[in-house]
Amino acid sequence: MIRKYSFLGYLLILFVFVQPLRGQTKSSNSAQDLLDFNELKEVIAAQPEDSLKLEVAQASLDKARYRLDTLRMANAYYFLSKFNRSNQLRYADSLIVITKGKSYERYPALGYLRKGNVRYEEGNYKEALEFYLIASKSAKENGNELLYLKLKFNIGLLKNTAGEREEAQAIFLEYLNFLDQNPKLKTSNLYNRVLFALTDSYIYSNQFNLAEDYIDKGIQEALKTNDISIYSNFVVYSGMYKYFSKNYNQAIDSLEKGKNLIQKSDEVKTRIAICDYYIARSYQDQGKVEQSMQYFKNVDRILKETEDVIPELIDTYDYLIADSKAKKNLEKQIEYINTLLRLDSIRHANQIYLTKNINERYDTVELISEKEKLIDQLQHDKFLKEETITILIVFLVILIIVATYGFRKSYVNKRRFLRLLEDQKTKESNLLDFVDISANISKKQDIDIPKDVIETVLKKLHNFENSTKFSKKHYTLNSLAKELNTNSAYLSKIINVYKNVNFANYLNNLRIDFAVDELASNKSLRSYTIKAIAEEVGFKNAQSFSSAFYKKTGIYPSYFIKHLEI
């Protein structure tokens, strides 16, 4: 009965949208029977099937075209881009074209947001970021604060994916505070999504106490709003937290529960793979190897099926290869090594995850040696079959490709290492005192700051750069501005214009340059752990230090230290 009434409602709406206006001409009241954004959203949400949602949106578009109503055409294009997956980019482009240059609150920002979301789902994070940035600018210019913060949140998700956890957390917390302070704009879907993002970021940056707080809060909110999908995610994170806390039996229980919920509500295979991975790790750490292998094999199956490579899951193949080797199952060893090589290459093709590449995980020479041993043993034992030979040939081709890539990567890294040393020597031989920069100031863009203030701040920055305080103290923009007797707005603008970076990258670059100088001149420092070196030069942890070092130099600190010792 409910379905009949929904369909009847749809027919009435369709009739209103598509019937021509008989005996009427265009007038000031020509758009009265057209729905605005929120009304159209509610009508579409009420439809029980996507096909009906599409028909309503299309009917709305036809009516808006007839009335030459650009804003309502844009509304219809937006919803068509959400529900017509085969043409979503075309509809988003149409939305952008008809609203570009107009001061609509939502447009063209929502069009760029849709394009960014499509690219994000495809794993094309670089293009997704570009579209999000354009959309953010549009939303800000048109005074849509909520949309602006939503886009900033999406950029935060990209930062979190790229490993820039601290910056992402600041964005997530800002959005959470905004929603708390604006309850009329706070929907359960938005709020739970932010809690989920924060939990994810804290888990993967090993901030387990904070993660626990947000897991508890997320579970409470999900139960309050009956959001089964998000509840299942928090149950999974609860299991992960218990794993890292070494409460393995509790971890397995929560992960199994979360997995069952995911399978019932909305089966996302990669989320199931994460559950299986941490269940396997829990059994493995308890010494229950055979039980763990069943779950690692589930992860392998899902990764092969989806090719959606989550970096942490790659460790699955370390366990599977080791298990096959212990059982002397040569065919499985080859199969798992082949899969590892293929999935790891997919991961690196994304150029997002700042993790070790395949040459660091499996040295090319060792892989070739392992391959030769396997081939010799298979020939000796006369277990070669036609399928096995084919696998080995494919494996050899992959190895050659990987070896070529490895040699090229090694060559590029070596050049970057030598250039870094050369730059460091050049800086040592060209150390000059601060000179009058008044002539250079006039060449820069006008940033609405008195010239004498700019010169004073630059002199103080010069002294700050020549000190090592930045390596001993945690600085924020406000704290440095206070130390230099200026305000944070001036300092931020001056750094952006005269140093060509934002404040965070300015500090990171100083610390990386300092680290390079210290490592090159101080042999004892090279014996420190990466974590200890990071703390020595001003970073909070090894991960943020390695990421910043690679971003500035193109090589990791471990590589730099290793080759200094050669």
Domains of the chain: 438-564 (1.10.10.60)
What confidence score (pLDDT) does residue 441 get?
63
State the average pLDDT over residues 123-131: 77
Poorest-pLDDT segment among 62-66, 207-211, 454-458: 207-211
Name the more confident of 50 and 328. Answer: 328
**Between the CA of residue 177 and those of 171, 172, 173, 195, 235, what are the distances in Å?**
10, 9, 6, 11, 24
List the structure tokens of 561: 């230290």
Q: Find the helix or strand (DSSP H, E) in which 364 lies.
A: helix 364-381
DSSP designation for 205: T
List the structure tokens of 418: 């030598």
Q: Length of the chain in residues, anyone?
A: 566
Poorest-pLDDT segment among 19-23, 326-330, 407-411, 449-453: 19-23
DSSP designation for 471: G
Helix axes 208-225, 228-244, angle to 10 degrees: 160
CA dihedral 356, 361, 363, 366 (to 10 degrees): 180
What confidence score (pLDDT) does residue 9 get?
41
Please spell the DSSP secondary structure of 311-322, one letter per residue.
Answer: GGGGGHHHHHHH
What confidence score (pLDDT) does residue 348 get?
53
Per-residue model confidence as pLDDT tens digits over 379-418: 565 555 666 777 877 877 887 777 677 667 667 777 777 7
What confidence score (pLDDT) does residue 428 get?
52
Cα separation of 566 and 49, whole Å? 66
Q: What do you get for the CA distance between the two ends of the chain, in Å?
A: 79
Kindly give, in sequence order, each residue whose CB lies less than 8 Å from that of residue 18, ignoring residues fewer than 6 positions away: 59, 62, 63
Neighbours of 448 (CB within 10 A): 7
Cα separation of 151 and 132, whole Å? 6
| C-beta separation of 9 from 15 below 8 A | no
- ∠ at Cα 128 (122, 131), nearest 5°? 140
State the average pLDDT over residues 499-508: 90
Q: What share of the chain is helix, strand, coil (3-state, %, to 5)?
A: 75, 0, 25
| C-beta separation of 470 from 511 below 8 A | yes
Give burial (CB, 10 Å; 0-12/13-18/19+) of 287.
Answer: exposed
Q: Is the per-residue pLDDT at 24 higher than 60?
A: no
pLDDT band for 193, please (50, 70, 90 cuts). Answer: confident
Per-residue model confidence as pLDDT tens digits over 134-184: 888 888 888 888 888 888 888 888 777 777 788 888 888 888 888 888 888
Cα separation of 200 and 231, whole Å? 14
State the average pLDDT over residues 481-486: 91
Name the more confident of 402 and 485. Answer: 485
DSSP designation for 485: T
Cα separation of 100 and 107, whole Å? 8
- Among all chains, which residue has been given the structure tokens 């009335």? 67
Cα separation of 64 and 72, whole Å? 6
List the structure tokens of 132: 């999000």
Q: Is the per-residue pLDDT at 460 higher than 80?
A: yes
Name the more confident of 115 and 187. Answer: 115
What confidence score (pLDDT) does residue 302 get?
87
Please spell the DSSP secondary structure of 76-90, one letter per residue.
Answer: HHHHHHHH-GGGHHH
Poorest-pLDDT segment among 56-65, 91-100, 186-195, 259-268: 259-268
Name the more confident of 364 and 411. Answer: 411
Task: Give the highest mean pLDDT range of 13-27, 260-274, 483-497.
Answer: 483-497
What confidence score (pLDDT) does residue 261 get?
84
State the average pLDDT over residues 327-353: 73
Cα separation of 324 and 336, whole Å? 9
Give burial (CB, 10 Å; 0-12/13-18/19+) of 24.
Answer: exposed
DSSP E strands in 128-216: the ranges are none
Give the residue ranges of DSSP H helices in 205-307. 208-225, 228-244, 248-265, 269-285, 289-306
Cα separation of 335 and 351, whole Å? 25
Cα separation of 9 and 5, whole Å? 6
CA dihedral 194, 196, 201, 207 (to 10 degrees): 110
What confidence score (pLDDT) does residue 385 get?
60
Neighbours of 43 (CB within 10 A): 19
Cα separation of 210 and 470, whole Å? 27
% of the chain at pLDDT higher than 90: 14
What confidence score (pLDDT) does residue 185 get?
78
What confidence score (pLDDT) does residue 526 get?
86
Q: Is the per-residue pLDDT at 528 higher than 60?
A: yes
Poorest-pLDDT segment among 228-242, 324-338, 344-358: 344-358
| C-beta separation of 403 from 364 below 8 A | yes
What confidence score (pLDDT) does residue 197 get?
86
CA neighbor of 372 nearest in space, from 349, 356, 344, 395? 395
Q: Is the per-residue pLDDT at 32 higher than 50?
A: no
What confidence score (pLDDT) does residue 144 get?
86
Give burial (CB, 10 Å; 0-12/13-18/19+) of 510.
Answer: buried
**What's at 322, amino acid-wise?**
A
Cα separation of 562 and 566, whole Å? 7
Name the more confident of 162 and 525. Answer: 525
Cα separation of 268 and 259, whole Å? 10
What confidence score (pLDDT) does residue 354 get?
31
What confidence score (pLDDT) does residue 225 get?
79
Q: Is the per-residue pLDDT at 283 higher than 90?
A: yes
What confidence score (pLDDT) does residue 433 get?
46
Per-residue model confidence as pLDDT tens digits over 288-311: 999 999 999 998 898 888 776 677
Name the more confident of 314 and 382. Answer: 314
Please give the mean pLDDT across all residues of the chain.
78
State the average pLDDT over residues 516-527: 87
Q: Is the per-residue pLDDT at 362 higher than 50?
A: no
Kindly give, in sequence order, each residue whose CB lies less than 8 Å from that of residue 20, ignoring residues fewer than 6 positions away: 66
| C-beta separation of 261 from 232 below 8 A | yes
What confidence score (pLDDT) does residue 82 get?
84
